[in-house]
Amino acid sequence: MARDVLITGLGAVSALGVGKDDLWNALVEGSSGVRPLQRFDPSGMPCRLAGQAVDFNVRDFLPKSYRKATKVMARDIELAVVAAALAVKDAGLTTRADEGASPTMPPNRLGCQIGAGLIAAETDEISRALAASTNPDGSFSLERWGTETAPDGRVGAGGMNHLPPLWLLKYLPNMLACHVTILHGAEGPSNTITCGEASALLSLGESTRVIQRDDADACFSGGAESKLNYMGMLRMDLAGRLAHHTESQDGTRVLMPYCDSSGGLLGEAGAVLLVEERAHAQRRGVTPYARIAGFGAAQTSGCPLPTGVWEPDEPEIERGLADAIESALRDARLDPGAIDAIVPTGLGVPSCDRRERAALHAVFGSRLPSIPIITLAPNLGNCSAGQGGLMTAAAAMALRHQTIPSRIQRGTPAPGLDAGPAPARKASLRHVLVCTTALGGQNAALVLSAP
Amino acid sequence: MSERRVVITGAGWVTPLGMDLDAVWQRLLRGDSAIGPVQRYDAGTFATNFAAEVSNFSLERMMGPSSRPYLDSGLGIQFALGAASAAMRQAGLGQAGDGLAGIDPRRFGLYMGSGEGSLDFDNFVAANLAGWTGTEVNGSAWARAAYQRMSAKRELEQEPHIVLSYVSRAFGLRGPAFNCMTACAASTQAVGEAFELIRHGDADLMLAGGSHSMIHPLGMTGFIRLTAMSTRRDDPSTAARPFDKTRDGFVMGEGAGMVVLEELEHAQRRGAHILAEVAGFGSTADAFRITDIQPDGLGAVAAIRRALRHAGIDPQQRDATGRPPVHYISAHGTGTQENDGIETKAVKTAFGPLAPEVPFSSVKSMLGHLIQAAGAVELITCLKAIETGMLPPTINLHTPDPECDIDHVPNQARDVRPLGGVEVCLSNSFGFGGQNDTICVRKFRG
């Protein structure tokens, strides 16, 4: 018999606060976390607004014995670790992290699929080391970077020793999941999916399959990432994903989903959910937020990489997104007509939004204008691997509260999509679709149903 | 509904010993080492100044004229496309640009465990030096230099999922697409998860594997600082010594391995040649420490047991021919002190009294460690073992280590055809941070 998968815990840390209630309240009230960027000096960047996460101290979320490990935690890892701690607490699960208490679950039945991005080396750390290995003319010397005497007698100056011994471990993408598994004693199946904005939804899909096939009873799932650093922001700008030279300090006038005058902004977030098999959740007496009723994924073949990376054969429609949604609906045994609300990516990047909208239209046809769209990017920016986790958490909260949160963008999307500015409102919600497309054309969709 | 079975119908690789499936296999059986001084950059003063580099690689040769849009891409992407072309050709699924021989592209997915794309090292360094004031980063100066020097193509290709965009575009795949980064376990994990997607019905075919090159100054630096690599600078070709008492770390390799996984009936309907059946997959986490493996190898044991349970195999029960139920294990076998001892312990725990009779070798002794690509390449060696009845050796194994006292197929390939050949293999991969993945393949018997 098929095993049913529920969402029983939500953990989120983002520009809208710490914890699911901060996130949900801000979405309902219509607040934005987009502000002038503080984390690094963006003066040379064409875009200086971002959804930087609120201040938090990762040590507050760690058992005492683990606090030393914060030295090897890049920002992305901190976001994941905090979100995971919030998720287990929200789910009422006791894990190894609760020192002295006995864990709720056998370790081998707890899995972990946390999506991640490529973690950029901290620029000051690497620059300081590189600068210690230069020639008299200021250019970099590989010879001086080394530590030994070469066979031909040239002598290394040990530049690389300016990097700490565990430097690499701070930046491996799988360290998000590894720290979480170690902290919480999760010895079940574990993975790190790195597919840009689609990472978290793909991870949630994989966690769902892991539980369905009885390889685990519960999993940490979701994603975390921060591209609020020099390399991260540069790459997203080179990808054509950032608004340029905006004088506005108001993100809601910059990032306006489905409006042609819009531009993209970055954010950072950790969003980890606890997904759990129904009977297991029932035995614990926990109240689920939602059921993961369907999952689908697909690639947009011929998906354009922006800025001339290859000859554009840019499809007018994000075909893979339509395919992923249709697969998720089939998996949920639902018709498109059953969907009561949609949480799409809505990045505010006009070319992406156009293709996304066309895909939604391909699936939902003439009914599309009557389906409320839930947007998060105007409040948070694009949080990359964290985004899908936030979107899924918002969908789960919408189902619990039977509420469509506010939409705060200031633009007016072309008719045909219920995505313009609107206050929060009550709605009768049974099935909510969450769907996303990554830079590069990886698509994923989840259907969440009332539990 | 009967359980969906999954078979492998194509395999391709790009390795430091070459690109041709059979030629590389012959070299592995001969015990050739691909390891020598680093040619790609000046590594003279590096504590590890040797590696197993891919040489004489030509994507054009592997992929034909449709390689043209990709010839100026980074190595990781080119390796992936080359291995994918070979796998698709062997599977009889057409080449890039040809279409998919009538297969619904939405049922054909892609699951890779590829590493980050190739770093644009010189420009990365120049931007960082330009931005460094001596005490801090000057954002304007950094950005000025970075925008002047760095290209969208090189930068985006470093994002680990972009390889999916390239491979899917080249072959017209439109099914589920994933990339995972579980360090040295990644491409085993990718094949395993792809197997599960087909079993569940999310796809009928999956191209799966991984691609990676860390042979650049910062990639090597990361592992040198961790003291994970061999520093046997005076004798590179014997530096990779898995299971030998004198082992002092792994040797970096690079490359790609890709396989075509296919639902059995789908493969049979189109008359595909079946290389082997995927019988089971196990993924676990040590949940122990980010720097150390669980000392008893319990996470590895659990991964092996999960894979064998899926396959319906009891590791401590002899098969009908009286042999242990697994005829070859492709070891993770990195050549670090820690891994090899603990992995041996894990195999002993899993197989109990039968462990000494299970051949268990590491081709990393010859190919080096292909990091995220290692698992897929090693899985392909299992396919070749099943096909030929030959086992590749662990070379450079001359000083026995009491901690690694089972059968590591030392120095000489072994012909096991007289014993009945190879029916069942395991391939182990373990990643930094405690990621354990084991895949079980067996000869297809209808």
Instruction: For residues A198 and A345, give the distance between their C-alpha atoms in angstroms, rounded to a whole number.
Output: 9
Same domain, A423 and A274: yes
Instruction: State the residue for tokens 């989120």.
Output: A12
Per residue, the 3-state secondary structure of A249-310, as one string, reads: CCHHHCCCCCCCCCCCCEEEEEEEEEEEEHHHHHHHCCCCCEEEEEEEEEECCCCCCCCCCC
Instruction: For residues B195 and B193, give the distance between their C-alpha atoms in angstroms, rounded to a whole number.
Output: 5
Helix (H, G, I), strand (E, B) or coil at A129: helix
Residues 6+ apart with CB under 8 A from B364: B240, B242, B250, B251, B253, B331, B333, B334, B335, B374
Same domain, A134 and A81: no
Q: Are B159 and A117 an interchain contact pair (Cβ–Cβ within 8 Å)?
A: yes
pLDDT in tens, A339-360: 999 999 999 999 899 999 999 9
pLDDT in tens, A266-289: 999 999 999 999 999 999 999 999
Distance from CA of B320 to the nearest CA of A (A): 29
Same domain, A273 and A297: yes
Instruction: For residues A200 and A222, give the distance between their C-alpha atoms in angstroms, rounded to a whole number.
Output: 4
Q: Are A320 and B196 an interchain contact pair (Cβ–Cβ within 8 Å)?
A: no
Distance from CA of B112 to the nearest CA of A (A): 10
Q: Which site among A163, A190, A325, A331 would you substitute to test the B interface, given the most B Cβ atoms closer than 10 Å to its Cβ?
A: A190
Distance from CA of A439 to the nearest CA of B (A): 8
Instruction: State the residue for tokens 């001084």.
Output: B37
Same domain, A313 and A373: yes
How many domains, in total, are found in chain A? Answer: 2
Instruction: State the residue for tokens 């690497």.
Output: A126
Residue B103 has, within 13 A of its CA and on its CB side, a CA count of 30
Nearest Cβ partner for B140 among A43, A192, A309: A43
Nearest Cβ partner for B161 among A166, A297, A442: A442
Per-residue confidence (pLDDT) for residue A311, from 0 to 100: 46
Instruction: Give alpha helix (H) positions in A36-170.
Output: 75-91, 123-131, 142-145
Question: At B302, which amino acid appears?
Answer: A
Q: Are strands A35-36 and A49-51 parallel, antiparallel or unpaired?
A: antiparallel
Same domain, A157 and A193: no
Instruction: For residues B439 and B187, give the distance between their C-alpha atoms in angstroms, rounded to a whole number.
Output: 11
Same domain, A136 and A266: no
Count H helices and E strands in chain B, helices first: 14, 14
Per-residue confidence (pLDDT) for residue A305, from 0 to 100: 63
End-of-domain residue from the set A138, A164, A190: A164
Q: Which stretch of DSSP H or E encloses residue A356? A: helix A350-364
Same domain, A222 and A324: yes
Of B114, B89, B107, the closest CA to residue B170 belongs to: B89
Quick one: chain B helix, strand, coil %, rounded to 5? 40, 20, 40
**pLDDT level of residue B135 (50, 70, 90 thresholds):** very high
Helix (H, G, I), strand (E, B) or coil at A101: coil
Taking CA–CA distances from B287, the nearest residue in chain A reads A182
Distance from CA of B418 to the nearest CA of A (A): 38
Residues 6+ apart with CB under 8 A from A234: A45, B143, B146, B147, B150, B155
Instruction: For residues A81 and B180, give the distance between their C-alpha atoms in angstroms, rounded to a whole number.
Output: 19
Q: Are A193 and B178 an interchain contact pair (Cβ–Cβ within 8 Å)?
A: yes
Q: Are A175 and B433 an interchain contact pair (Cβ–Cβ within 8 Å)?
A: yes
**pLDDT level of residue B24 (50, 70, 90 thresholds):** very high
Helix (H, G, I), strand (E, B) or coil at B9: strand
Instruction: For residues B19 and A131, give the distance between their C-alpha atoms in angstroms, rounded to a whole number.
Output: 39
Instruction: For residues B84 and B67, give the distance between their C-alpha atoms in angstroms, rounded to a whole number.
Output: 12
Nearest Cβ partner for B139 among A42, A300, A441: A42
- Output the pTM of the full model: 0.98
Instruction: For residues B265 and B4, give the distance between their C-alpha atoms in angstroms, rounded to a whole number.
Output: 8
Q: Please name every residue paired with B255 in a beta bridge, in sequence order, or none if there are none.
A: B212
Helix (H, G, I), strand (E, B) or coil at B400: strand
Instruction: For residues B35 and B274, give the distance between their C-alpha atoms in angstroms, rounded to a whole number.
Output: 33
B/e letters for B256-294, b = 16+ CB within 10 Å, e = fewer, are: bbbbbbbbbebbeeeebebbbbbbbbbbbbbbbebeebb
Q: Are B45 and A148 an interchain contact pair (Cβ–Cβ within 8 Å)?
A: yes
Taking CA–CA distances from B309, the nearest residue in chain A reads A215
Q: Looking at the structure, give the CATH architecture of the domain made up of residues B6-120+153-269.
A: 3-Layer(aba) Sandwich (3.40)
Distance from CA of B84 to the nearest CA of A (A): 16
Same domain, A25 and A156: no
Instruction: Give alpha helix (H) positions in B275-403.
Output: 298-310, 337-351, 364-367, 374-388
Q: Are A166 and B291 an interchain contact pair (Cβ–Cβ within 8 Å)?
A: yes
Same domain, A137 and A257: no
Question: Containing domain of residue A212, as a range?
Answer: 5-120+171-449
> What class, spelled out in words, does domain B280-442 have in CATH?
alpha beta
Helix (H, G, I), strand (E, B) or coil at B116: coil
Q: Any idea what the CATH number is for the domain that residue A397 is in?
A: 3.40.47.10
Q: Which site among A110, A237, A299 would you substitute to test the B interface, given the most B Cβ atoms closer than 10 Å to its Cβ?
A: A299
Q: Are B129 and A134 an interchain contact pair (Cβ–Cβ within 8 Å)?
A: yes
pLDDT in tens, A203-221: 999 999 999 999 999 999 9
Per-residue confidence (pLDDT) for residue A310, from 0 to 100: 46
Taking CA–CA distances from A325, the nearest residue in chain B reads B176
Q: Are B45 and A441 an interchain contact pair (Cβ–Cβ within 8 Å)?
A: no
B433 touches A172 (CB < 8 A): yes
Same domain, A272 and A369: yes
Same domain, A145 and A277: no
CA B247 to chain centre: 21
Nearest Cβ partner for A301 among B147, B168, B222: B168
Q: Which site among B4, B119, B159 would you substitute to test the A interface, given the most A Cβ atoms closer than 10 Å to its Cβ?
A: B159
pLDDT in tens, A290-302: 999 999 999 997 7
For chain A, which ranges sit under pLDDT 70?
1, 303-315
In chain B, which residues have their Cβ closer than 8 Å to the Cβ of A438? 161
Same domain, A72 and A213: yes
Instruction: For residues B173 and B176, give the distance between their C-alpha atoms in angstroms, rounded to a whole number.
Output: 9
Q: Are A300 and B174 an interchain contact pair (Cβ–Cβ within 8 Å)?
A: yes
Q: Are strands A110-115 and A218-226 parallel, antiparallel or unpaired?
A: parallel
Mean pLDDT over B5-18 rounds to 98
pLDDT in tens, B96-115: 767 787 899 999 999 999 99
Instruction: State the residue for tokens 């904005």.
Output: A197
Quick one: chain A helix, strand, coil %, rounded to 5? 35, 20, 45
Per-chain mean pLDDT for chain B: 96
Q: Which regions of B158-224 does DSSP assign to beta strands (E)?
A: 177-179, 205-213
Cα angle B92, B98, B101 (rounded to 5 degrees) comes to 45
Nearest Cβ partner for B42 among A142, A179, A198: A142
Token couple for B56:
């004489």
Instruction: For residues A55 and A15, give the distance between their C-alpha atoms in angstroms, rounded to a whole number.
Output: 9
Instruction: For residues A238 and B374, give the distance between their C-alpha atoms in angstroms, rounded to a whole number.
Output: 31
Instruction: For residues A300 and A319, give the distance between their C-alpha atoms in angstroms, rounded to a whole number.
Output: 6
Question: At B3, which amino acid appears?
Answer: E
Q: Where in chain B is the domain with CATH 3.40.47.10?
A: 6-120+153-269, 280-442
Instruction: For residues B209 and A195, give the distance between their C-alpha atoms in angstroms, rounded to a whole number.
Output: 15
Cα angle A192, A197, A201 (rounded to 5 degrees) comes to 60
Instruction: State the residue for tokens 């190894």.
Output: A96
Per-residue confidence (pLDDT) for residue A312, from 0 to 100: 44
